[in-house]
Structure 1
Amino acid sequence: MVEKHIKNLLFNHDCVIIPEFGGLITRYVPASINPVKHMLVPPSKKIAFNEKLVLNDGLLISTIAYANNISKEEAKQMVVAFVHSARTRLNGENRFELADIGVFRYNAERRLEFEYKESENLLESSFGLPEIVARPIRAEEPAVLRTLLKERKAEPAPVKQPLRSRLRRAYNVAAGLALTGLVGAGLYMLSLQTDYTISSLSPTSLFGAERQAAEENASASVTTQMPADQFASAEESLEMEDNAVSLAEGSGLTETSIEATQYAADESVIAKADEQGAAVEVEQPSTTISGKDGRFYIITGGYARMHNAEFSRQEIAEKGHEAKVLEPGRGNRLFKVAVADFATAEEAQAAMDTYRQSFGETIWVYNN
């Protein structure tokens, strides 16, 4: 009778104390897989025993009294009789079995030992879940697959390519590398020329080329506005120089003699220009900046030739701005036209919005 009530209490409680005997404690065990037996075990409760839990908490006695409709004193006497019977069996047979729960024994030190008997799953949430056997599936090879595997094993090893094919491949690779090197060297030599830069090869540089052509046409038109007598004198001087060179070449003179003849022709041209007082003097711009000065300039454009940069500076000066031309420094080939200069970069950046209204969004700040 008492054993039945103990088992029912273990379904709903984690600890059931048997007065003057000990306490049965349950613990949760999660689901597990047995790799040897190939079994899936559901979650369950395991039971342990502690003989020091002998203090009566009233759970077992109250349950027996309520289930049998008797008083607690009568239920207590039933528990005492159960404990006396258990100890008598242990002293006589050294074994007492609690039905569907476990077996009690004395060890060499006369202490109670409990062996849990896994007969029924005491976890209510796993009620009705059996242990599932899941054996591995062994796939059998069909006859077609076995035939394909045999044919694949029978295939001969790949034949090594002949020496001629390998040499042809190496030649193609070497030719490609050589061609790439030649193209790179050509581009580098082209970039060293005075009138070309690497940036001029891009499609966007076409706009800069059109502007440069327009500036050259404008400078040519300025030249054609020279007085007629000065232009005639210049042509006459050039004809004298050409005649002197041709006479020297016809008479079989050496290169040194030709240079002397050209020098004499140049001297005659200068003398004649001084006599007529109509020699064309090229005015050197006084607003040219050469060398580093540490100031910050607002640049409107860069040009490969000085006269193009000067023409742009004159156009800006006609609009009322004091423009300057910055000569190229080391590693640079462009003449830059500046519309303003400042002592610090902050001042130059602050003035950018004002100058963008007149010169567009392509201007930038340059530290000279």
Structure 2
Amino acid sequence: MRMEQYISQLLYRHQCVIVPGFGGFLTEFQSAKLVASTHTFYPPKKMISFNFQLKNNDGILANYITKVEKISFEKATEQIENEVKEWKLLLQNQQSLLLNQIGKLTLNPEGRLVFEPIDTLNYLTDAFGLTSIVSPPVKRELLSVEPEPKEEKPVIVLSTEKQRPNWFKYAAVAVVGLGISGFFVNQWHETKRANDLLQVEKAVQKKVEQKIQQATFFIDNPISSVSLTVVEEQKNYHIVAGAFRELKNAEKAVASLQKLGYNARQIEPNKHGLHPVVYDSYSRLEEAQQALGEIKANHNKEAWLLVQE
């Protein structure tokens, strides 16, 4: 069985696909980007990562194999366990585990799994058909600005003619005097006209204010009150403490965890008729993984992460 084919198909639809007893493959949205050094535009995509701590069976992979191969859930779980044994044996022999269309897994000298995702496949369905494009740099012309010609100043030529008679000076003074008097008369008329307009505007404004004070306003159709609905953020990541066949046992577990300070509660029963009890639920995968690590270290090593779509 080539189990990586089923994992690859599920990554198009799910954010997290867990291989029981081995680890979980996660997808994270990455926006479109530009690599300036190569002038290349890349479309948005889903990046794949691997978390070896996600080992509990959430049923997604086994149920998918059951539908595709038309076998029982137990038989699908058994096939997954056999495949995981072969993967671990291959890694223990210091060989690379190459998963087609997903990536490569190896063990580092400290014995930890190192995952190298494949970057040639885009699991974001909204970006189907989009490819990277290379755009040549735009060449801009540099315009040379020529300096504006300087204006030549007029040359003043001193006349050597005889001076004009005195009566010409008196006539020039009279003309200047008439011009100044005419300017002040014009300014007086302009000021008077502005004052008259101001008085008219004040009178109009006073009448308008009197009309407003005398008016009575009625609202025939008042606007009804508006009710706001706050949409609660979905919390699809649950840290499971256990699943119980009897409802009373699940209620006891919830009460016990709440006494310890956890935000414990029951979620809807699964398809096997069990009542899951969770420590808490989260809207982000990173928060759920951090809380799971703390709970495993301080309270329950068997706690596991349930991802609901």
More relative contact order, 1 or 2 (CA 8 Å, 6+ apart):
2
> TM-score if structure 2 supplies the norm length?
0.49
Larger Rg over CA atoms: 1
> TM-score if structure 1 supplies the norm length?
0.41
If each structure's helix is expressed as a fraction of its own residues, which one has the higher value? 1
